A and B are shown apart, each in its own frame.
Chain A
Amino acid sequence: AQSVTQLDSQVPVFEEAPVELRCNYSSSVSVYLFWYVQYPNQGLQLLLKYLSGSTLVKGINGFEAEFNKSQTSFHLRKPSVHISDTAEYFCAVSDSGGSNYKLTFGKGTLLTVNP
């Protein structure tokens, strides 16, 4: 079984500041890792994913994440945030060897970008 821990439930930042949203996972097998974003009153949208290959993954809207197998982490970063980045962000993991690819989600991090 896998689990995901998002270390911060809320992250307030000022516009144009850098941000890092932290995610750690636990799994006994190889995993795929995902970050999803949820804007207010909307569904989830994929930001980026790590399946294999380069450990630095670039996604939409200027976000990137780095897979660190030894630290079992997949932290999300953006060098300069905008007001429009205000949303809830979810880290998720799935078993790369499984046949059903069920996602296990973290509890979410609410990013609030202030002017």
Chain B
Amino acid sequence: NAGVTQTPKFQVLKTGQSMTLQCAQDMNHNSMYWYRQDPGMGLRLIYYSASEGTTDKGEVPNGYNVSRLNKREFSLRLESAAPSQTSVYFCASRVQGSTDTQYFGPGTRLTVL
């Protein structure tokens, strides 16, 4: 049981390049989330998927797209990377029910030059 996994762990892009961050969970959770973490800003929600087949914008969606490929996988795409997207990206998933806890992946550290 690996929990939430993210690939890659590190990535360096040039301005204008595109890439997809991958996230998978093996806990049979319905909801999945993408956050970015910047120094002094805490975590801010980019997009989330309440269930397979649905996605919604969070607090900072501009410049990103997402795909909920199936129940396990939720990817985040940067179509044209900008230096302002340099950040650490975390994926999380949530079990519905009484616990309502979000479980986080180890993060992807992205640098855009």
A residues at B contact (CB < 8 Å):
4, 9, 32, 34, 36, 42-46, 49, 51, 90, 94, 99-108
Which chain B residues border A46 with CB–CB below 8 Å?
A: 101-103
The answer to whether residues A100 and B56 also contact, given A43-B105, A49-B100, A94-B100 and a CB cut-off of 8 A, is yes
Per the bound structure, the CA–CA distance linking A44 and B106 in Å amounts to 8
Whether A100 pairs with B31 at a CB distance below 8 angstroms is yes
Among candidates B43, B56, B58, residue contacting A90 with C-beta atoms closer than 8 Å: B43
The tally of residues in B whose CB lies under 8 Å from a CB in A reads 27
A residues in contact with B98, CB < 8 Å: 51
Residues of B36-51 contacting chain A, CB below 8 A: 40-45, 48, 50
Q: Which secondary structure dominates where chain A touches chain B?
A: strand
Q: How many inter-chain contacts with C-beta < 8 Å in the A-B complex?
A: 58
State whether A101 and B104 are in contact (beta carbons under 8 Å apart), knowing that A43-B90, A107-B42 are contacts in the complex.
no
Contacts of B102 in A (CB 8 A): 46, 101, 103
Q: Which of B31, B92, B99, B102 has the most CB of A within 10 A?
A: B102
Collect the chain B residues with CB atoms within 8 Å of residue A34's CB: 101
- B100, A102: Cβ atoms under 8 Å? no
Instruction: Say if the beta carbon of B68 comes within 8 Å of chain A.
Output: no
Nearest chain A residue, comparing its CB with the CB of B54:
A100
> What's the minimum C-beta distance from A44 to chain B, rounded to whole angstroms?
4
